[in-house]
Chain A
């Protein structure tokens, strides 16, 4: 898509008012500007709206809250199939992976998923803007781990 100068997108997903659910949004915001040539964006949920955001990029990193990954709250996992990620699948639209396929079928340039990061969360159903103590204390180390891993993957391109 014309106008997209960077080839790499870091995309955060999450609901800003559902406590730990917003962890992907916070981390994405904190990673902004750390990787020259990479853009960052945030969205509440996968769906058709992502098509406009994704089209034109070569690679996309996804950062989402997750449950059932087998880890403790605050633990980071790479989940290539997205299983457990809370916002890649929607009942009212098209999920992230099918969106990529659909875009390609229609002749659009769609990015390859560079990595899907899922952060295990404990609290998924209470309204609130504060992170739980577990997620709050894990935040600095999550940011470091994500920075190192994203840098490593980008260097391999």
Chain B
């Protein structure tokens, strides 16, 4: 009798999603899909509007990474208006984007990942959340997380008027610069962020790497997936967040492609499947391979581990040492361990903090030359950033007056959608045996997709005892034979 298990974490704003696990007659996992319900009509909503409105619109399409959409839109506006940001404006944008990385990555690690690794994957769901984490590590660390995030949000707010949903992005520049007086608090924030990043990595080493059970999980086949990887790299092939070339490597680490983001459509194709609203991206030159891994796949992954796999190294010295240690523990590069994304995420936050130390000491930071207004409408712009969750593309086209005629977005979670399905399937095959599955094992299936930090319905940790999680088990006739609910 074929049966179906549905894990349905329903949340708002990030979208609605659920996991469906199909069992075969023996009760083993036959297939698994991560499904998403789409918010409708975004492109239609945008067309006909002045393109400069996009930096105020796009931060609202995601409750999780508004700064990434805002920056991609700002960079697309540069191209639409045919203007380069001044060197000082570019530096200030990099400062802001690094600050966003820091606040974003700590939310994920402490709120979404740490409950699994610090409280424990099988712990009572009522304790497997941020309150449980703080209970384990102490109030002082909780206050440090809050403080470091607030300080970095102050940088975002200073430049773009609002945080966490900025809206001041301008073609050719930034709306507000820094004074020498400001430099002091920016430098102080950067110094504290580096110190905190090292502290967070030490917590990871002590509490996660120091626990054999967790190391076994991270390195287990259940959480491995061999795919291509994609990320932005700088001119030295190092990890970069704000700007660079798109580089793709094969599952065994060889360079497959390197291109300017404006040529993304030559390299990335989208595939439609009837069971999801997400258009599944894959490498165009390889064609759609289906949900497969290994040498024959055309799927690629983005996000923190992809960044470290793709680049020749980190841009900053302390982060580089940490990355070397990570690959040493994981057995070399590229690493295919999905759960190692949490580790790579902390290393990226460290690079962002170190980079902001350098920016804070750069004389250009206080330059008054922060806008280039020599506009000439070109009618097309592709803004690309390495968002915390992976490579993000905003493609806009306009008429000669700058009115939008086309808006196409390829978001990080879309890049990862196919691999997320496969990661869920592999974890389900390892941990689900028949319909009578314990909550802790379902959580271990969820851990497979939580590692990607998808923008759509991903976590069960934030809502102790109240997460609207519904597990339905159906027989071959589609009738529900068992329902497990929490917080519905």
Q: State the A residues within 8 Å of B (CB).
A: 15-18, 44-45, 47-49, 51-52, 86-87, 89-95, 98, 101-102, 105-107, 125-128
Contact = CB atoms under 8 A, between A and B. Distances in A.
A106 B130 CA distance: 13
B186 interface: no
Nearest to A107: B139
A55 to B, nearest CB: 10
B40 A127 contact: yes
B11 A89 contact: yes
Contacts of A107: 139
A94 B130 contact: yes
A95 B14 CA distance: 14
Given A102-B130, A128-B41, A91 B60 contact: no
Interface of B: 9, 11-14, 37-42, 44-45, 57, 60-61, 63-64, 107-108, 111-112, 129-131, 134, 139, 142-143, 146, 149-150, 153, 163-165, 457-460, 462-464, 466
B14 A125 contact: no
B146 A127 contact: no
A127 B107 CA distance: 27
A92 B139 contact: no
A127 B44 contact: yes
A73 B397 CA distance: 37
B60 A98 contact: no
A35 B345 CA distance: 45
Contacts of B149: 48
A44 B13 contact: yes
Contact of A93 (B37, B41, B462): B462
Nearest to B45: A127
A91 B134 contact: no
12 contacts: A44-B165, A48-B149, A52-B150, A90-B11, A90-B13, A91-B14, A92-B64, A92-B112, A106-B142, A106-B143, A106-B146, A128-B45
B304 to A, nearest CB: 16
A63 B484 CA distance: 31
Contacts of A90: 11-14, 63, 462
Given A52-B150, A92-B459, A126-B41, 4 more contacts: A48-B149, A92-B14, A94-B129, A125-B37
Contact of A125 (B40, B60, B108): B40
A37 B464 CA distance: 34
A89 B139 contact: no
Chain A CB within 10 A, most for which of B14, B61, B146, B459: B146
Contacts, number: 106
A6 B52 CA distance: 37
A93 B107 contact: yes
A101 B131 CA distance: 9
A2 to B, nearest CB: 15
B139 A106 contact: yes
A87 B462 CA distance: 13
A126 B142 CA distance: 37
A87 B11 CA distance: 9
A18 B112 CA distance: 26
Nearest to A88: B12
A92 B164 CA distance: 13
Question: Which 6 residue pairs are nearest across A and B when measured between Cβ atoms?
Answer: A127-B45, A91-B11, A91-B459, A45-B63, A86-B12, A127-B41
| Chain A CB within 10 Å, residue with most, of B14, B111, B139 | B111
A98 B464 contact: yes
Contact of A98 (B108, B129, B460): B129
Contacts of B107: 48, 92-93
Nearest to A64: B12
B150 A94 contact: no
Nearest to A83: B466
A92 B60 contact: no
A25 to B, nearest CB: 11
Contacts of B37: 125
B41 to A, nearest CB: 5
A107 B111 CA distance: 19
A91 to B, nearest CB: 4
Given A48-B146, A52-B150, A89-B11, A94 B111 contact: yes
A47 B418 CA distance: 29
A44 B63 contact: yes
A2 B384 CA distance: 41
Given A45-B63, A86-B12, A126-B41, A92 B462 contact: yes
A91 B458 contact: yes
A100 to B, nearest CB: 11
B153 A91 contact: no
A45 B462 CA distance: 13
Most B CB contacts (10 A, CB to CB) among A45, A49, A92 go to A92
Contacts of A91: 9, 11, 14, 457-460, 462-463
A90 B459 CA distance: 9
A89 B149 CA distance: 20
A18 B9 CA distance: 21
Contacts of A49: 153, 163-164
A97 to B, nearest CB: 8
Contacts of B11: 89-91
